[in-house]
Structure 1
């Protein structure tokens, strides 16, 4: 068994048509919420490696 100490975050991923210019406001085409964080990424990598 492997124990991972680290953060678990919610990553907000916005799909944009273009990158905004300084001071420009754009609307996102879509939003995805995915798990992330150093601890979550390490645990996922260990599990995929057969731990």
Structure 2
């Protein structure tokens, strides 16, 4: 019986917060954004995805 190696991921998982604006705000100025998005990432998340794509998770 073939033994599957154990994979341990050590790293961070984060979410980026992205706001889309038509222009940059000036000092003390408030601008309403058009779109708000979150995007996953971080070194640990990227390592886990790579391991999964290699069939190790």
Q: TM-score, structure 2 length as denominator? A: 0.59
Runs of 4+ more than 4 Å apart: none
Q: Does 1:12 align with 2:20?
A: no
1:39 is displaced (CA, Å) by 2.5
Query: Secondary structure, in 3 states, of the residue corresponding to 1:39?
Result: helix
Q: Does 1:34 align with 2:39?
A: yes
1:36 is displaced (CA, Å) by 1.9
Query: Which sections of structure 2, spanning at least 5 residues, go unmatched?
Result: none
1:7 is displaced (CA, Å) by 1.1
Query: Which sections of structure 1, spanning at least 5 residues, go unmatched?
Result: none
Bigger Rg over Cα: 2
User: C-alpha root-mean-square deviation of aligned residues, in Å?
Assistant: 2.3
Q: Count matched residues.
A: 47
Q: TM-score, structure 1 length as denominator? A: 0.64
